[in-house]
Amino acid sequence: MRFKKDCLLLAAIFLTALSSCKKWEDHTAIVNQDLTKDLYTAIKDEPTLSRFAELVTQAGLDSLLKSSKSFTVWAPSNNALNNLDPAIPADPGKLRAFVQNHISYELYFTRDAQTSKRIGMLNGKYNNFLNNKFEDATITNADRYVKNGVLHAIDKYISVLPNLWEYINSTAAQYIQNNFITGLNFPSFDPSLAVVDSISSSTGLPVYHPGTGIVIKNLFNEKVFDTRKEERQYTYFIIANPEFTLKADSLKPYFKSTSIATTDTLDKWNIVKDVLVDVLYPTIASLPATLTSKFGTPIPIDPSSITGSAKVSNGIVYFISLSGVTTASKFRQSVIQGENPSGFQSDKTGNTNYRIRYNPVSAQNYADILVSGHGVTGYYSFYRLSEMPSMKYNVYAFAVNDFQANNMVQSINPFYFTAPATYTALPCVSTQLPANTTQLSYAVPLKSAVGAYNEVFLGSFTSTLYGTLDLRLTSGNTTNPPVLGGSGNGPIVLDYLRIVPIP
């Protein structure tokens, strides 16, 4: 035990020594230093920074820069401040935020910024620091090391910009897109902000005071990216109003619902979810030919359609007259794994097998589901897909009959599901049945058959409303040979289904 304590003590001494060495290296590596002065004094005593010193004093931050805490200051020169908007010094709140936008906690030398760093400032904003550049300002006198921090002189002041969320809100009246996004607010309960009245004697859970703990969130920030985050950097595209309206109208057929208002919300949402990426492209020249949204949608970039830009504190906004995003590119295929059903017609646990099989063609293992001997006519497992557009879908399947000698059939039966328990059969065009029907029959090949391990195109179905779909893997008859169509009490087996939208 004593030995262990001694080891811990030695480790602590070693780490302290390393830290001290690092601080001493910082001290000895800096030629431009004056450890007799604090940051405020160093700024005030430098004639070319006298105007910034006045602003520091006026903002009430002089005592902070005299304190023992460590800071880095990027101080704009007198020449840089010549064109400062007079409204900033005249407004105490704006002035304080402006000065704080040039001050950061901790020490930052130019040698620490060989790659771009996102530096948190005292006002909560973040600025980029790379080599001798601080945002778009150039450092003219770098790395002056004083007793409570580092001072850099810069040739431009750094404006306090709104973040992207603030910008979207401030321009909501101007752009249909931004107006729609700001309308996606919703109330949410945060127990950490709520007032607890009592503890329930029956559940042991807190009883919160009515009306407390309610916060307002926004669907765009929750589902796409949180545009309020200052530490992140984004590229955001605002589509011109006429183009936005045209795009929204073109999507209406794919988001049909029983409510015109719901359809309107859905088609607009499916535009705005693809107008933001979480990478900063600060210039038009830096934009690639195609971006990809969070949802996998390709965003072609045509520089000639960009009509302007606006810088925000956490990114950049581009204004575009035309959107290159195609309708077809917005829809993704769905791959359903057979071994992960949403549920069953009834509990047949004893008859259900989740298997690992070997595919001799791909030389890979795969997982599937097999339900046999269940004794139920038309038995099914079902697979639920939510938020499915109103359109035609092609259906592909992969399953292998490797568990019995007889041929087998099953079918995929698509339904439109309305909660709590309404199922509407959807019209199908089957490749294996001669007439239109409400099922896609599937003759599952024996493993010894040619092409048994190939994916099979079963046909298509059409959903006329946006919403939730249930695809039922339904048992077929057991006649020998089995007959396509209808249902029976035969087995069901499935590796996967692939559902491909056809706009």
Q: In angstroms, rounded to a whole number, what is the distance separating the alpha carbons of residues 66 and 64? A: 5
* 151-177 burial code (b ≥16 CB/10 A, e <16): bbbbebbbebbbbbbebbbebbeebbb
Count H helices and E strands in the chain, helices first: 11, 32
The last residue of a domain, from among 291, 326, 361: 326
Residue found by looking up tokens 């003590």 in the block: 9
Residue 277 has pLDDT above 70, yes or no: yes
How far, in whole angstroms, is CA 322 from its chain's centroid?
A: 24
Query: Half-sphere exposure of 112 toward its Cβ, with a 13 Å CA cutoff?
Result: 17
Whether the Cβ atoms of residue 425 and residue 415 lie closer than 8 Å to each other? yes
* CATH at 387: 2.60.120.260
Task: Kindly give, in sequence order, each residue whose CB lies less than 8 Å from that of residue 331, ignoring residues fewer than 6 positions away.
Answer: 254, 389, 391, 501, 503
Q: In angstroms, rounded to a whole number, what is the distance separating the alpha carbons of residues 469 and 13? A: 65
Sign of the dihedral defined by the CA atoms of residues 84, 85, 87, 91, in that order: negative
Same domain (yes/no): 226, 306: yes
Same domain (yes/no): 463, 416: yes
Name the amino acid, one letter, at 59: A
Mean pLDDT, to the nearest integer, of 413-421? 96
Task: Kindly give, in sequence order, each residue whose CB lies less than 8 Å from that of residue 176, ignoring residues fewer than 6 positions away.
Answer: 241, 244, 245
Give a yes or no: residue 168 inside a domain: yes
Residue 4 has pLDDT above 60, yes or no: no
Mean pLDDT across the chain, nearest whole number? Answer: 93
Give a yes or no: residue 159 inside a domain: no
Lowest mean pLDDT among 202-206, 216-220, 414-418, 423-427: 202-206
Name the amino acid, one letter, at 35: L
Give a yes or no: residue 72 inside a domain: yes
Same domain (yes/no): 31, 149: yes
| Percent of the chain whose predicted confidence (pLDDT) is above 90 | 87
Distances (CA, A) of 154 to 114, 129, 211, 436: 18, 12, 49, 74
The last residue of a domain, from among 275, 293, 326: 326
Whether the Cβ atoms of residue 378 and residue 363 lie closer than 8 Å to each other? no
Same domain (yes/no): 341, 471: yes
Residue 365's CB is within 10 A of a number of other CB atoms, namely 9
- Angle made by CA atoms 248, 252, 258, in degrees to the nearest 5: 130
Give a yes or no: residue 197 inside a domain: no
The last residue of a domain, from among 309, 326, 343: 326
Q: In angstroms, rounded to a whole number, what is the distance separating the alpha carbons of residues 26 and 448? A: 73
Distances (CA, A) of 240 to 176, 180, 237: 8, 13, 10
Residue 3 has pLDDT above 50, yes or no: no
Whether the Cβ atoms of residue 271 and residue 251 lie closer than 8 Å to each other? yes
* Residue 26 or 325, more confident: 325
Confidence at residue 479, expressed as pLDDT on a 0 to 100 scale: 84
Same domain (yes/no): 305, 376: no
Q: How does pLDDT run across 457-486, given as a tens digit for each residue?
A: 999 999 999 999 999 999 999 888 888 888
Same domain (yes/no): 471, 348: yes
Break the chain down into helix, strand, coil percent, rounded to 5.
25, 35, 40
The pair of structure tokens assigned to 129 is 């620091």
Q: How does pLDDT run across 370-398, given as a tens digit for each residue?
A: 999 999 999 999 999 999 999 999 999 99
| H-helix or E-strand spanning residue 268 | helix 260-272
Confidence at residue 20, expressed as pLDDT on a 0 to 100 scale: 44
How far, in whole angstroms, is CA 422 from its chain's centroid?
A: 33
Report the number of distinct structural domains present in the chain. 3
Same domain (yes/no): 91, 136: yes
Say whether 216 sits in a helix, a strand or coil.
strand
DSSP class per residue in 145-199 = EETTEEEEEESS-------HHHHHHHTTTT-HHHHHHHTTEEEEE-GGGSPEEEE
- Angle made by CA atoms 274, 276, 279, in degrees to the nearest 5: 130
Q: In angstroms, rounded to a whole number, what is the distance separating the alpha carbons of residues 190 and 201? A: 22
> Residue 136 sits in which domain range?
18-154
Q: How confident is the model at residue 116 (pLDDT cuts 50, 70, 90)?
A: very high
Whether the Cβ atoms of residue 36 and residue 70 lie closer than 8 Å to each other? no
Residue 433 has pLDDT above 90, yes or no: no
Same domain (yes/no): 396, 472: yes
Give a yes or no: residue 1 inside a domain: no
- Angle made by CA atoms 60, 66, 71, in degrees to the nearest 5: 95
